[in-house]
Amino acid sequence: MDLPEFFCYVSILSCLFPIMVNSIGINYGQIANNLPSPEDVVPLVKSIGATKIKLYDADPRVLKAFANTDVEFMVGLGNEYLDKMRDPTNAQAWVKENIQPHLPATKITSIFVGNEVLTLNDTSLSDCLLPAMQSVHAALLNFGLDKQVTVTTTHSLAILQTSYPPSAGAFREDLMDPLCETLNFHQKTGSPFLINAYPYFAYKGNPEQVPLDFVLFQPNQGVTDPQTHLHYDNMLYAQIDAVYSALASLGYKKLLVHISETGWPSKGDEDEAGATPENAEKYNGNLIKLMSGKTGTPMRPNSDLNIYIFALFNENMKPGPTSERNYGLFKPDGTPAYPLGITPNNVVGRNTTVGGGRFGNAVTNPYYPMSSSTGYMSISSARQQRYQLLGHVVRMVPLLIIKTLV
């Protein structure tokens, strides 16, 4: 399929994707040597109804390509920049070079400083986190951009000490000091609290006891929180509400919570249970349908779901197990990695139809800015390690509750 045919195909697909009530966010990673040009990614993003992108760096090619598209961007500053960004002069220079030139044409709404820093057990990074966030915010303030661009950071779900029942959600005691510092920053600046949540890892770690239907948003009997009597029929919502409870217990009930990453791999190694196209289709397809409605979680039914699916593309140069290279909704040529199983007939009732297109030979050379190639790669590969080391944290449904589900 040549490029004109591709754009015609994407135009047809776009008619099948109504605008989301809770708009779709997507993680756009670039650890690959075969991805299409950012210009060719624009119609693909629009075809799936995505209106928000999380970018792991401030790639000027991407930000320029999405100018005047009204797609919102969250851009990243990698962990390797934290020490440098403690210096307000460096932060000022970075914002001037990477953010200011793209506004207002490109709708940059947030900068996340560091990836899952607090659960890396590296004090050289965690000690730099808040000062770096403060310096970047001060730079935005100096440029008069602080009202339109917020500053935040991402957290692993492993920051939770207690996760079930959701109403008893609590943060780890050993992380309380640096965590409260960042929470105070969020409260003062109005920036969102970002959490990366992967029910996949709970299933992978215990496939014999974690009910697959519960993690894939499939029909199941679910569980009831014994304290609130709220009913949960999927693990992701239980995870989100555990975070809400943990925040409320510290006095931060009104903080905005965004799920900055969640997804399911379509392929994995032999020991990666559940990493199949069928399961990825169910997880992401069902999640997109849930996001298309006006419902929040059981604890916050009237709150919008701000969720970023991981990821847009399979990325062939990411380190780690096979699953790390197979989280994409799409292959590098723009074809779906798997069908999401949502047909045009589902559009009635504000559900969505998901498809894909072909880019032909529209492939560019890889682009590896430091904030992506180092920080993003290390965090992605560390994702497996953190769930192995902190398995008690990510078992969102304890054995007693699991038995009630099976």
How many angstroms separate the Cα of 248 from the Cα of each of 251, 295, 331? 5, 21, 40
CB neighbourhood size of 94 (10 A)? 20
Spot the catalytic one: 261, 272, 281, 315.
Answer: 261
Instruction: State how far the alpha carbon of 244 is from the alpha carbons of 40, 164, 241, 252, 297, in Å.
Output: 38, 12, 5, 9, 10
Place of tokens 């390509």: 65
Per DSSP, the three-state class of 261 is strand
Residue among 234, 356, 250, 343 nearest 295 (CA): 234
Strands (E) in 4-59, as ranges, are 24-28, 50-55
Active-site residue flag, 116: yes
Contact (Cβ atoms closer than 8 angstroms) between residue 91 and residue 85: yes
DSSP one-letter code for 266: S
Collapsing DSSP to helix, strand or coil, 34 comes out as coil
Question: Which one is catalytic: 5, 39, 116, 173?
Answer: 116
Buried b (16+ CB within 10 A) or exposed e, 336-356: bbbebebeeebbeeebbbbbb
Closest to 136 measured CA to CA, from 92, 96, 97: 92
Read off the amino acid at residue 277. Answer: P
Respond yes or no: is residue 39 known to be catalytic.
no
| Surface-to-core class of residue 269, CB atoms within 10 Å of its CB (0-12 exposed, 13-18 middle, 19+ buried) | exposed
DSSP state of 231: E
- Give the residue among 329, 298, 295 at the shortest CA–CA distance from 314: 329
Pairing of strands 231-232, 223-224: antiparallel
Instruction: For residue 295, list its beta bridge partners.
Output: none
Residue numbers annotated as active site: 116, 261
